[in-house]
Each structure stands twice: as C-alpha cells, then as structure tokens.
Amino acid sequence: MAQDFALITRDVPPPAPGEVQVRNLFMAVDPAMRGRMSDAPSYVPPFALNAPMEGPAIGEVTASNHPDFKPGDLVFSRLGWREIFNAPAAALEHRDRDALPPSAYLGFAGSTGLTAYAGLIRIAGLREDDVVFVSAASGAVGSIACQIARIKGCKVIGAAGGARKKAFLLDTVGVDAAIDYKAEPNLTKALAREVKALGVKGIDVNFENVGGDHLQAALALANKHARFAICGMISQYNVTDAPTVPKNLTMLMTKSIRMEGFIVLDHKDLEPQFMADMIAWHKAGLIRQAETVHEGIENALTAFNGLFSGDNLGRTLVKLGEP
Ligand code: NDP
C-alpha cells in the first residue's frame, strides 16, 4: 500500500482571480476512501491516479482573490491531503471560528456527526425508550451515534475491539453496556447476555458500521419491527474473496425488520438542525469527541491504515498546521 503513495512538494502560486489560498489545519481520514481506491462502481468516482488525494479538511484562508473570503477565515473543503492549496471559492465553505474548535467541524459537527444524526433520526426513526445497538461504537461515527441515542433517552449497547475501547465506551461515551467483540468467541451470545443484563427483550434499532458477525448478532437479538440503519460494513471493505453474509437474514421477514442503507451526502438538508443541535449539546456537555491525532502529512497513510487495524479512538485526524 505505501508504495502506491508519493509525498510531493511543489510551489503554490498566489491565487488566480476567483481563487482562494488555504492553509490546512487538520484533515480527516475516512473508511470510504478505501472504496475510492478501486474503480468498482460506487456513489462517488474513484480517486484519479497521479493526483492529490481528496478528503475532508479544515483550514484557514491565507490569501484571497474572491470577495466572499478574507485572510483568517476558517473554511471547510473536501481537498484534504495537502498543506497549502489554491481552490475556486465554490470548493470552500465557511465555518464559525467562535462556535467550536476547528477540528470539531471534521468530527461531531462534521460529516461523521451528520452520519450518526441522519442514520438514527431519519433512517431509524429513533424513539425515546428504544434499545440501540451500535457497532464500531468507539469510532468517529459510532461514538457520536451512541451519545445522540443517549441524549434522546434510549438505552445503548456498543461494541468495539479491545479492553481500552470497552472502558472508553462505558466511562467516556456513557453507554449502558459495552462489548469487547475481540474477547468474545460468539458475538451473538455476548449481545444476548448484555440484553438480558439490561432487563430488556431485545434491540429496537441497529446502527450498523461493521457488517458480518455484528449484523448477524443484531438480527438475532432484534425485536419485532426493529429498524436497521445500514451505515457501513467496514469488516468487508478489504475482503477479496466471498463477503461474510449473516446466516440469519430470514429474520428480516420473520421479525418484520426494516433495513435501510444510507449515504450521508443525501441528507445534507438536515445540516441546519443538526448543527444547531450539536452546538447546543456540546455547550451543555452532552456531546464529547475523542480524537486520535497524527502529526504531519507524512503520517496520513498511517492514520488511514489505523481505521482498519483499529488503532484509532474517536475521530482520526492528521494535524497539518497550528490553529
Ligand atoms: P471509525 O472511526 O469507526 O474507524 C473504523 C473502526 O472500524 C475501527 O476503529 C475499528 O474499530 C473498526 N473496524 C475496522 N475493521 C474492522 C473489522 N474487520 N471488524 C470489526 N470492526 C472493524 O470510522 P468511521 O466512524 O469514519 O466509520 C465507521 C463506519 O461508518 C464505516 O463502516 C464507514 O464506512 C461508515 N460511514 C458511512 C457513511 C455513510 O454515509 N453511510 C459516512 C461515514 C462513515 P474496532 O477497534 O472497534 O474494531
């Protein structure tokens, strides 16, 4: 993999008419970038060969040749994986420097936060008193999904890999029950045990990030009319032979389960309400974002690989400059 990447240094000219120059402060890495490293049909085109990688980033305007932007403005772009760049103004979005710290706009107040929000509130139709199961619960999307579900009055069971992540879920994220799936020979039995310990019948909502045995466990413990928001299936992204398909898919029918996949880009209309809720919840101390921060663009690939080895906790970022 490392041999497929090159770190290139080049001069950046002053911005041309209509362009803005930005110094990135942080870029984020996402599992979805793995899909764009293949030319298989998808909802976004593959990365172009011999071109800079793209991805969410937050930066500061250093020079502007467009009236809507001035030096010092905080801006979001999808042009990460570069330290300084010129871009047309249309590729940049303003962010409020005073409302939140810059990195928050790549995490709980960015696309991973919106993914958790849209998946629970719109796709799953979250209701107070739901029992919610979240996989990859200590990650960027999962940890925010757990917190939103708690804020909405639900009971939450989170699954993550390792004792450190289990403790993080219980002590920091504030779930009602946590499973270290790496320590469990049978995830379905582990979920059944936690459901019983909580004194509930089963789960009403599954927020799926992993797929495979996690989805199988969720189907096994689902209540009748459960709603499954299929956000991701990271356990399958690097699989080159047959994917792992749950053996109990017939439960979709026998339990009248509604399963729906979604892509966050289709739910940007939720952004105004989402941003207002997130800022209010953050100010009230109800939403916290753990971050795994790698220093320097030369460590971007290490940061990305950490998503698949599970080295990360919370949102995985690369710091590219001093805020
Ligand atoms: P995370 O911060 O959650 O990092 C990925 C985590 O996935 C790792 O920390 C690891 O946690 C877990 N993981 C990796 N490989 C495996 C495996 N083989 N089996 C089980 N767990 C594994 O990433 P994100 O929050 O950015 O993404 C989480 C999910 O959400 C992904 O599936 C992603 O594709 C999806 N997503 C979907 C979006 C949409 O629009 N639908 C938008 C954004 C993300 P652990 O150590 O616990 O195993």
pLDDT, position 187: 98
Distance from the CA of 221 to the center of ligand 1, in angstroms? 21
3-state secondary structure of 90: helix
Q: How far is the CA of 99 from the centre of ligand 1 (A)?
A: 28
- 281, part of any domain: no
Q: What is the mean pLDDT of residues 70-74?
A: 98
This prediction's pTM: 0.96
Give yes or no: residues 123 and 257 share one domain: yes
**Is there a single domain that holds both residue 252 and residue 128?**
yes
Tell me, what's the pLDDT at 1?
75
Q: Is the CB of 188 under 6 A from ligand 1?
A: no
**Residue 153 belongs to what domain range?**
114-266
Cross-strand pairs, 180: 160
Task: Say yes or no: 233 and 305 in one domain.
Answer: no
pLDDT of residue 323: 85
37, 166, 293, 307: residue to mutate for ligand 1 pocket, most atoms within 8 A of CB:
307
| 214 in a structural domain | yes
CATH number at residue 186: 3.40.50.720
- Segment 135-160 shows an average pLDDT of 98
How many domains does the chain fold into?
2
Domain membership of residue 284 (yes or no) is: no
Residue 146 Cβ contacting ligand 1 at under 6 Å: no
Note the pLDDT of residue 265.
Answer: 95
Q: Are residues 136 and 243 in the same domain?
A: yes
Angle between helices 213-221 and 187-198 (to 10 degrees): 40
Residue 232 CB–ligand 1 contact under 6 Å? yes
Residues 239 and 262 occupy one common structural domain: yes
- Distance (Å, rounded) from C-alpha 256 to C-alpha 225? 5
Does 223 lie in the same domain as 200?
A: yes
Asked whether residue 90 falls in the same domain as residue 125, the answer is no
Asked which of 266, 281, 301 is the last residue of a domain, the reply is 266
Give yes or no for residue 209 CB within 6 A of ligand 1. yes
For residues 118 and 261, membership in a common domain is answered with yes
- Say yes or no to pLDDT of 320 above 90: yes
pLDDT of residue 252: 98
Question: What is the pLDDT, as a whole number, of residue 282?
Answer: 96
Is residue 282 situated within a structural domain? Answer: no
Output the pLDDT for position 63: 98
Give yes or no for residue 44 having a pLDDT over 90.
Answer: no
Where does the pLDDT of residue 76 fall: very low under 50, low under 70, confident under 90, or very high at 90 and above? Answer: very high
- Give the pLDDT score at 106: 98
Q: What digits encode the pLDDT tens for the residues 170-226?
A: 999 999 999 999 999 999 999 999 999 999 999 999 999 999 999 999 999 999 999
User: Quick one: 249 and 120 in the same domain?
Assistant: yes
Asked if the structure places residue 273 within a domain, the reply is no
Asked if the model's pLDDT at residue 43 lies above 80, the reply is yes
pLDDT 10s digits, 231-278: 999 999 999 888 889 999 999 999 999 999 999 999 999 999 999 999
Note the pLDDT tens digit of each residue in 16-29: 999 999 999 999 99
Same domain, 97 and 141: no
Q: Distance between CA atoms of 61 and 301, rounded to whole angstroms?
A: 25
In a domain, 275, yes or no: no
In a domain, 143, yes or no: yes
Residue ending a domain, choose from 251, 266, 281: 266
31 Cβ below 6 A of ligand 1: yes
Predicted local confidence at residue 241, as pLDDT: 86
Which pLDDT score, from 0 to 100, does residue 243 have? 86
Q: What is the pLDDT of residue 41?
A: 82
Pocket test for ligand 1, best of 27, 123, 141, 291 (most atoms within 8 A of CB): 141
pLDDT tens-place string over residues 266-315: 999 999 999 999 999 999 999 999 999 999 999 999 999 999 999 999 99
Residue 298: CATH number of its domain: 3.90.180.10
pLDDT of residue 103: 97
Give yes or no for residue 42 having a pLDDT over 90.
no
Sign, CA torsion 51/44/36/30? positive
> Model ipTM?
0.99
Same domain, 256 and 300: no
Pocket test for ligand 1, best of 209, 244, 264, 316 (most atoms within 8 A of CB): 209
Q: What pLDDT score was predicted for residue 240?
A: 85
Residue 33 resides in a domain: yes
In angstroms, how far is the first alpha carbon of the chain from the final one? 31
Nearest CA to ligand 1 atom 11: 310
- The pLDDT value recorded for residue 242 is 85
Output the DSSP codes for 94-146: E--TTTS-GGGGGTTTSHHHHHHHIIIIIIS---TT-EEEESSTTBHHHHHHH
Same domain, 157 and 70: no
